[in-house]
Structure 1
């Protein structure tokens, strides 16, 4: 009988650009600002980017725009999710149970904890100018800073698969 060997390739197979955005606005407001400044039509997906980790259900808001004329897809995703975890502690008495809540922050890309949002751009033609987009993003008053991230620097790139 022949042996078959499966090789797992770590490459995502798609070329994309990733821009980090530091901004304290809510996700819907960020999408609005990008739509206005970059002439996009980002809309929230029906299903957010959902994970389950350590018993917590984690959901990151995900916005998408497909530009069919340029064969380019834009994704805006939040990097941070805060959730409350309840702990019950007993003091040994009948009515002594105490419930304590702890706020847990989870990151889409843990290596970039200070980043608030990511703009992922997939272009089949490669016509997207990252420098121009970063300059336009930095012109938005509410954005503190925006910069490109090299694909090789991302350790948890599997979290950026949105399909």
Structure 2
């Protein structure tokens, strides 16, 4: 009997750049800071990035801006989502079970748990001025640090599909 082996290539190419941002601000404030200091025009999408995992609804705020002059698209997404998980605990008593709530933190890219935001940059050009952008990001007072992430190191690249 013949064995058939299917080899699936990675469907997600590395045609984008990814910048990790450490910042303790809320997502809307981070988008505002990028709009103000880097002169982007990020707007929040009507629908956030939603996942369902282990019975929990996980939502990540997503902002985007398409620069038609430079043929570049910017996506700002939060890496952390705090959600409340309810657990039913049997009390063994006469009056029924008790419900315990627990705050659970989920990550868009679990391998980067210390990162607060990701800025995904997709461009038609071969090179985009990433170094200049990193310098501008690091000059913002509220940003603790910003650095380039090698897309090949990201294990959960499928979470970065925003279309």
Q: State the TM-score, normalizing by the size of structure 2.
A: 0.93
Alignment pair present for 1:133 and 2:133: yes
Aligned Cα root-mean-square deviation (Å): 1.6
Residue 8 of structure 1: aligned partner: 8
SS in 2 for 1:159: helix
> Could you tell me how far apart the structure 2 residues matched to 1:126 and 1:66 are?
17
**Cα drift, residue 130 of structure 1:** 1.1
Residue 24 of structure 1: aligned partner: 24
Residue 74 of structure 1: aligned partner: 74
Q: Is the 8 A contact 2:14 2:151 kept in 1?
A: no
Residue 120 of structure 1: aligned partner: 120
Instruction: Tell me how many residue pairs correspond in the alignment.
Output: 160
**Cα drift, residue 14 of structure 1:** 5.1
Residue 62 of structure 1: aligned partner: 62
Q: State the TM-score, normalizing by the size of structure 1.
A: 0.93
Alignment pair present for 1:41 and 2:27: no
Q: Is the 8 A contact 2:31 2:42 kept in 1?
A: yes
> Could you tell me how far apart the structure 2 residues matched to 1:37 and 1:128 are?
18
Residue 106 of structure 1: aligned partner: 106
**Cα drift, residue 91 of structure 1:** 1.7
SS in 1 for 2:28: helix
SS in 2 for 1:125: coil
The unaligned stretches of length 5 or more in structure 2 are none
SS in 2 for 1:10: coil
The unaligned stretches of length 5 or more in structure 1 are none
Residue 53 of structure 1: aligned partner: 53
Residue 87 of structure 2: aligned partner: 87
> Could you tell me how far apart the structure 2 residues matched to 1:92 and 1:63 are?
48
Q: Which runs of 4+ in 1 moved over 6 A?
A: none
